[in-house]
Amino acid sequence: MEYAVVYLILAAAFGLFMAWGIGANDVANAMATSVGARVLTIKQAVVLAAIFEFAGAVLAGGAVASTVRGGIVQTDQLVGQPEMLIFGMLAALAAAGVWLLVASWMGWPVSTTHSIIGALVGFAIAGIGWSAVQWDTVGRVAASWVISPMLAGIASFILFRSVQILVLDRPDPLTAARRWVPVYIFLTGFIVSLMTLLKGLRHIGLELSAAESYLLAAAVGIFLGAVGKMVISRMKFDPSADRRFHFTNVERVFGVLMLFTACAMAFAHGSNDVANAVGPVAAVVAIVADGQISAEAPVPIWLLLLGAVGIVAGLLMLGKHVIATVGRNITQLTPSRGFTCELAAAGTVVFASGFGLPISTTHTLVGAVLGVGMARGIAAINLRTVSTVFMSWLITLPAGGLLAIFFFFLLHTAFG
């Protein structure tokens, strides 16, 4: 292959750029609610997210990634034309990276998965033809714009109503919080562990059955609930603080819980979404090595490290804009509300994964934040911010597709 070394350098550079975009935009899924609830400052959130995103991406980021994400492109039409697929993967990475840069700068929380899918659709249409796109998959992706925020919104509404009934509306909310928060810690530990076990750790050779995953997740939940109960029992409370805000001490109890949910969500996100950046790179590396198109490509550890470094860099450099949108600009969050959002989002992702529904973590968390806002009344929601966010979701697929067509023809002209 004449330009093999150039293709590898471009793939690594574009993959790093795409991972940078994931860090700048998608890490808000893990940290935004903690910042909005004032449990963490943006600086603390960025440091914690950097550690746990990196750990998730490297430890559980994926030993094998499908070369064409989500079965979008029918590669059998490219037999004998491996360089066309290289151009397509490079164009998709560049297009998705550019769109994530624009969205992050504007503070729009968009789906990185949908960005890369839109880009792959654009390449398939430009490079092969309309018949190469698996439109049923694209239709399911479009349906998830409605399904994921709706499911998470309903879940967070119900969950926050339970917090209101069991804790906030009680005659002695602090005593109720000390009783019920360990139960919520168990739920959080169970659901987030299950999300990681079902979607993440299988990539490091830890093949667990569904039953084993549920049992292990339950054990983690029980352990964390016990630890949470011990920590809460040792907390010192200031009764005078409740004069300024009736639930000050109650929210301190929920703040303990939010630290765990934020770190666990960051780990799970790093393990799941790094594949959006390194999957297409792995495809290019495999084609350059073998000279032919294969259905799957192994992901070497240096690629996971590249993706992890890119995610952390994007978070450090531009992550604060989207964190501010999700954490502060949709509705006012406290630790009890923020925990509700994260647990509802994580639970929805686990539920959807079990049923094979294509779902966006970003859309899910925004839906959860909206659900909490609705539980407090429509006036608690900033509808202008919400309409801007929804508009950015609608244009993500076509924006990724059009940018990919531009980059595909640019690469084809340069190397073809």
Per-residue pLDDT tens digits for 158-216: 998 999 899 988 888 888 988 998 998 898 888 878 876 776 555 566 677 888 889 99
pLDDT tens for residues 326-348? 877 788 888 888 888 888 887 78
Q: What are the respective helix, strand and coil percentages of the chain, to the nearest 5? A: 80, 0, 15
Residue 62 has pLDDT above 90, yes or no: no
What's the mean pLDDT when you consider all of the chain?
A: 82
% of the chain surpassing 90 pLDDT: 18
- Confidence band of 67 (pLDDT split at 50, 70, 90): very low
CA neighbor of 192 nearest in space, from 164, 159, 156, 216:
216
Q: Look at 60 and 240; give whichever has higher pLDDT.
A: 240
**pLDDT of res. 405:** 95
Provide Rg for the chain, Cα atoms.
Answer: 22
Find residue 65's DSSP bridge partners: 297
Q: What is the pLDDT of residue 93?
A: 94
Q: Which of these ranges, 23-27, 140-144, 399-403, has the smallest mean pLDDT? A: 140-144
Are the C-beta atoms of 411 and 129 separated by less than 8 Å? no
CA distance 228 to 382: 34
pLDDT at 226: 92
- Judged by DSSP in three states, 65 sits in strand
Say which residue, 316 or 269, is predicted with more confidence.
316
> Worst-scoring range by mean pLDDT, 31-45, 91-105, 107-121, 199-213?
199-213
Identify the pLDDT of residue 66: 53
The pLDDT score that the predictor gives to residue 63 is 44
Q: Are 93 and 14 in contact (CB under 8 A)?
A: yes
Closest by CA position to 15, among listed 231, 282, 259: 282
Distance separating alpha carbons of residues 156 and 169, to the nearest angstrom: 18
Buried b (16+ CB within 10 A) or exposed e, 285-307: bbbbeeeebeeebebeeebbebb
Q: How far apart are CA 282 and CA 65, in angstroms?
A: 8
Cβ atoms of 126 and 405 within 8 Å: the answer is yes
Phi, psi angle pair for 298, to nearest 5°? -65, 145
Mean pLDDT, residues 374-399: 86
Res 68 pLDDT > 60:
no
pLDDT tens for each residue of 73-106: 777 777 677 888 889 989 999 999 999 999 999 8
The residue with greater pLDDT, 411 or 248, is: 411
Residue with tokens 């550690």: 51
Q: What is the pLDDT confidence band of residue 251, given thresholds at 50, 70 and 90?
A: confident
Q: What is the pLDDT of residue 246?
A: 65
Name the DSSP class of 39: S
The tokens for 304 are 């996971």
